[in-house]
Amino acid sequence: MNELQKRIVAEGKVLPGDIIKIDGFMNHRVDVALMRSIAKDIRAHFADKEITAIMTVEASGIPVATITADEFGVPLIFAKKAKSDNIEGGLVKSEIFSYTYRKKVTLIVSAEWLKPTDKVLIVDDFMANGEAIRGLVEIIDQVGAELVGIGIAVEKGFQGGGDRLRAKGIDVYSLAIVEKAEPGNIVFRE
């Protein structure tokens, strides 16, 4: 097991609804040293690729994506979740279904800040059904930028989002792919 997997086993809690609660080090009180270790792993996996920007969605993916951008020495772009009164020009949008909030959410990125020349690595803390990531991929496609790959800390393998993206030929690299999550029994994909 790698460092992240050990922390999930030691400190994670499995809650009803297949929720893996790791907010003590991943997405509420954030262990930035662990984010650095995750970023180095992602960097190593994509070492031979040219990358000009890291991209994520607000909010909980931002810490790991920021440290990954620091590790690559490139800017971070984070997509925003549209507020209802947000009417502004020059925006690229994608509508996704948020399983967390059980409603449709529109992801937006300013066309001014994601350029057709960008070679983008998507980074996020979690991937389950992969809706947020699908939205980011759609935005990158709309702009005409290049998707280099996807780096994820924790993938819920049993929900299929990562494998659907892999089936399309996208390089999805996850540090911890959880295949089974029950209280006291978290199993990772080999």
Residues of the shown chain interacting with a copy of itself in the complex, contacts defined by CB under 8 A:
23-25, 28-33, 35-36, 53, 58-60, 62-63, 66-67, 69-70, 73-78, 80, 83, 85, 101, 109-110, 112-114
Nearer to a copy of itself, 41 or 172 (CB): 41
Q: How far is the CB of 109 from a copy of itself (least distance, A)?
A: 8
Show Cβ contacts of residue 25 under 8 Å, excluding neighbours closer than 6 positions.
7, 11, 31, 34
Nearer to a copy of itself, 91 or 186 (CB): 91
Q: How far is the CB of 23 from a copy of itself (least distance, A)?
A: 7
Separation of alpha carbons 106 and 93, rounded Å = 6
Nearer to a copy of itself, 6 or 28 (CB): 28
Q: What are all long-range contacts of 76-82, with beta carbons under 8 Å and residues at least 24 apart?
A: 77/53, 77/109, 77/113, 77/114, 77/120, 79/55, 79/107, 79/108, 79/109, 79/135, 79/136, 79/139, 80/107, 80/108, 80/109, 81/57, 81/105, 81/106, 81/107, 81/108, 82/106, 82/107, 82/108
Q: How far is the CB of 129 from a copy of itself (least distance, A)?
A: 19
Nearer to a copy of itself, 36 or 45 (CB): 36
Residue 148 main-chain phi, psi, to 5 deg: -85, -40
Q: How far is the CB of 60 from a copy of itself (least distance, A)?
A: 8
Q: How far is the CB of 98 from a copy of itself (least distance, A)?
A: 11
Nearer to a copy of itself, 120 or 165 (CB): 120
